[in-house]
Structure 1
Amino acid sequence: MPTRPRPLPRPPTTPHLFQPHVGRPLRAKRLKLLAATEVLPHRHPWAQLTFSRAGAVRMTAAAGTYLVPPSRALWIPPDVEHAVTAVEEAELITLYLHQPRGRCGPGVPAAEQAPWRECRVLEVSDLLRALMLELDATPEDPLRPPPPERLQRDRLLAMVILDELRRARPVRLGVALPRDKRLRVLCQAVLDDPGRHRTLDDWARGSGASSRTIARLFREQLGVSFGQWRQQVFLTRALTLAERGTPMARIAGELGYASASAFTAMVRRTVGQPPSRFFTAG
């Protein structure tokens, strides 16, 4: 007798218990996720920074998907719908930032707001990581407000965190997602197993469209070729494998590269750094 697939676990979303405000403009939330756990699409009026202390998660926000391994964090502006899928067992620290009306970035001047109005992947320094771990992550309880000394400590930590966040280097990670349903299904298949096929013809066979149509849709909707788009997928997949200590030659082979040197050339061409530096940044 056939059985139904087991539903993925879905933890409750509780951002309202950590809502930032003028009195506490920076709040921290900690969450452990089992592999394949999904957090359903949601949005809130404050900005968010998600950092994975252990494991990797995929966050889909706006028109793109982003891999968040331990050495990076994802910035999500206010009111942007986003969802989370745990690629593996993960432990997240999420910062919620109160934003004055019309502002988006972490206390940056108006002239520097533009980059912070989009989702962006940021490097996480040792200092920023340590500061986030020090923040109080207790849910809000109106009947038992935190003691003044804890609030004072969080305010001091927040000042340094925001300064460190403003200094964080953006990383060209993130994979754009299309509107066309056929193309989106193909893109999801590549994200799930990027090394399964080598050519666009092979990928197109299960999409219901010809490879010529798929190539045109990539140009029209994403502004890049299939090959350029898949390089970003390879890069995010390689980052996860590198975080697990996978040797570079094995990463290259799993992603279908003929040699480690060919893979190294792709990484250097895409992000302007060799793998030895890019995969150990933070």
Structure 2
Amino acid sequence: MARDVEHGVTGVPHSHERAQLLYATQGLMRVWTDNGMWILPPRRGLLIPPGVTHHWRALSKVTMRTVYIEPSVAARMGDSCRVIEVSPLLREMILALLNEPIEYPIPGRGEHLAMLILSELEAAETVPIAVPWPRDRRLIGICEAIMADPGSSRNIEQWADEVGASARTLIRLFPKETGLHYRQWVQQVHLAEAFGRLAEGQSVGGIAAALGYASPSAFTAMFRRVLGKTPQHYLTEWRGP
């Protein structure tokens, strides 16, 4: 499917009978499910299993180029949402398949492209960036506030006073509800926010300051520790051809 959407457009919550690779060749998207949130810059796609309700918002003008996958085949790719690296080869094959009929003939060029796309999807590297979402109302309030102001310096004790719960309760609830400890959850928010800002062309120093890091080097160290690459690596990659 090819679709171009303007900045600010939001898709209604929906699901598909097939799995979906939600991907844009240009632009920035934020995607939500009941269990998490992801920010997708170029060269990243979100694999969404069949039946998972999701919605998205265009954070810039977006050229969406998505692929739908039969459930029996998609089962090989896992049963949870995950962000993958979209290689230059995968990108070009998706664009090539879009030039084929929706009901492409078998055997034929469309079938060959589809098989190569599936092979690339199965081999694609998972990017460990996800913001799992809680269901407890106290945590939801905290998480929404952090998402609105990711550079906030509030600690767990201050949030406890804000929502009327003890710090010990919040410390226990975060891993129970999200699978991550509080600081790990905040770090995932920072990574997601950083990817979005990098895709917009913001400097590493500006991103570090916006997210509350003492210096660009402190932010870069966190980024590289989690992802194995520096922010500068991604800036260079996205500015390439």
Shared fold (TM-score, shorter chain, > 0.5): yes
- The counterpart of 1:245, out of the listed 184, 191, 201, is 201
1:30-179 aligned at under 5 Å gives the runs 30-100=2-72, 103-105=73-75, 113=76, 116-136=78-98, 152-179=108-135
Gap change, CA 1:194 and 1:205, over 3 Å in 2: farther
Question: 1:230 aligned to 2:186?
Answer: yes
SS state at 2:66 partner: strand
Q: CA RMSD in A?
A: 2.6
Bigger helix fraction:
2
Once the two structures are overlaid, the 10-residue window that deviates more, 253-262 or 270-279, is 270-279
Query: For the residues of structure 2 that align with 1:78 and 1:205, how far apart are their CA atoms?
Result: 40
Specify every segment of 5 or more residues in structure 1 that has no aligned partner in the other structure, as ranges. 1-28, 106-112, 141-145
Identity in percent: 39
Specify every segment of 5 or more residues in structure 2 that has no aligned partner in the other structure, as ranges. none
Gap change, CA 1:62 and 1:262, over 3 Å in 2: same
Conserved 8 A contact 1:55-1:69: yes
Gap change, CA 1:148 and 1:271, over 3 Å in 2: closer
Gap change, CA 1:280 and 1:64, over 3 Å in 2: farther
SS state at 1:117 partner: coil
Query: For the residues of structure 1 that align with 2:193 and 2:49, how far apart are their CA atoms?
Result: 24
Q: What displacement does 1:217 show? A: 1.6
TM-score by length of 2: 0.86
Residue 136 of structure 1 aligns with an amino acid whose one-letter code is L
Query: For the residues of structure 2 that align with 1:212 and 1:232, how far apart are their CA atoms?
Result: 21
- The counterpart of 2:211, out of the listed 245, 248, 255, is 255
Q: Quick check: which has more Rg, 1 or 2? A: 1
Query: For the residues of structure 2 that align with 1:87 and 1:211, how far apart are their CA atoms?
Result: 34
Query: For the residues of structure 2 that align with 1:213 and 1:147, how far apart are their CA atoms?
Result: 55
Q: What displacement does 1:97 show? A: 0.9
Q: Provide Cα deviations, 1:94-127, integer angstroms capped at 9, x if missing partner.
A: 1111233xx534xxxxxxx3x5111111001111
Q: Provide Cα deviations, 1:30-65, integer angstroms capped at 9, x if missing partner.
A: 222333322122112211001122221111124111
Query: For the residues of structure 2 that align with 1:51 and 1:136, how far apart are their CA atoms?
Result: 13
Gap change, CA 1:98 and 1:147, over 3 Å in 2: closer
SS state at 2:31 partner: strand
